[in-house]
Amino acid sequence: MKASMNILEVNHIKKYYRKSRAVDDVTFQVKKGEIFGLLGENGAGKSTMLSIISTLVKPDSGTILYEGKDIMKDPKVIQKKLGYVPQEIALYTMLSGMDNLKFFCDMYHINKKDQDESINKVLDIIGLDKGVLKNKVETYSGGMKRRLNIGVALLHRPDVVILDEPTVGIDVQSRNQILDSMIVLAKEGTTIIYVGHYMEEIEKISDTICVMEKGKVVLLGEKDSLLNGKSKLTLEELYLNTVSKIIQ
Ligand SMILES: Nc1ncnc2c1ncn2[C@@H]1O[C@H](COP(=O)(O)OP(=O)(O)OP(=O)(O)O)[C@@H](O)[C@H]1O
């Protein structure tokens, strides 16, 4: 769904560590119901930026507004609305898939009577068969673990979902399922911030594209206007043009 209202406004965020300027004066806006694709080399500052939006890391300076409210002053304004899918799988592998889903339903304080509905909805989105849910997660393929990891973050029906490289090292079927599920979620009005390494993924699903390099935003705009200019570049060509100029 393309909408025009900004749900998130990131203004001049800086986060410096002793040896690096992880995030160096970053400003961008995310519109409600869009897929915001964030790209960048290793160490560009993407995960740090996501951790700041998720209120897990405090920036040195700058502000972030969620629906117009300052998340640093009141982290709860975004915490309740957010589903965060970290790079690492965060599941209890000795438990079954279903027990993981129920455990996280309890964590999110979802009423017992509503849990089945939440779980069924999530299984539809991530395309996991109910049959496999009785098996321990340790028996799952990498792609199944990833899908369940995403499902867990969707149980409380968040308005914003942040995914940090959710398709690294998984099979093509799971990868396509994840990408398609993000498109479906966005059509339903969920805002998606999707960090990826694979250009073709970002090109396929994003409405807006943001490229970070060495802590800074080096490219930002609506995908259609970025790629359909005079030269009709692919995202890979545009990315390489942009990043090679900065590295030189
Ligand atoms: N807790 C920390 N302490 C010190 N330096 C950090 C910390 N977290 C990140 N950094 C540094 O900040 C920079 C940005 O790291 P970040 O993980 O945000 O990049 P990234 O774009 O997510 O990379 P990747 O794609 O490899 O995950 C790197 O130089 C990293 O070493």
Question: Given ligand 1 and candidates 15, 23, 39, 47, which is best to mutate, with the most ligand atoms within 8 Å of its CB?
Answer: 47
The architecture (CATH level 2) of 34-42+79-247 comes to 3-Layer(aba) Sandwich (3.40)
pTM of the model: 0.91
How confident is the model at residue 1, as a pLDDT? 45
Q: What is the Cα–Cα distance from 193 to 144, expressed in whole angstroms?
A: 21
Does the pLDDT at position 2 exceed 60?
Answer: no
Pocket of ligand 1 (CB under 6 A): 17, 20, 22, 40, 42-48
- Cα(44) to centroid of ligand 1, in Å? 7
Q: What is the Cα–Cα distance from 6 to 208, expressed in whole angstroms?
A: 12
Residue 74 dihedral angles phi and psi, to the nearest 5°: -140, 90
In this prediction, residue 160 has a pLDDT band, given cuts at 50, 70 and 90, of very high
**CA-based torsion, 119, 120, 126, 128: positive or negative:** positive
How confident is the model at residue 171, as a pLDDT? 86
For the stretch 36-87, pLDDT in tens is 999 998 899 999 999 999 999 999 999 999 999 999 999 999 998 999 998 8
Q: What is the Cα–Cα distance from 124 to 120, expressed in whole angstroms?
A: 6
| Spatial CA neighbour of 194 closest among 230, 232, 166, 170 | 166
Question: Given ligand 1 and candidates 46, 54, 165, which is best to mutate, with the most ligand atoms within 8 Å of its CB?
Answer: 46
For the stretch 117-152, pLDDT in tens is 999 999 989 988 888 999 999 999 999 999 999 999
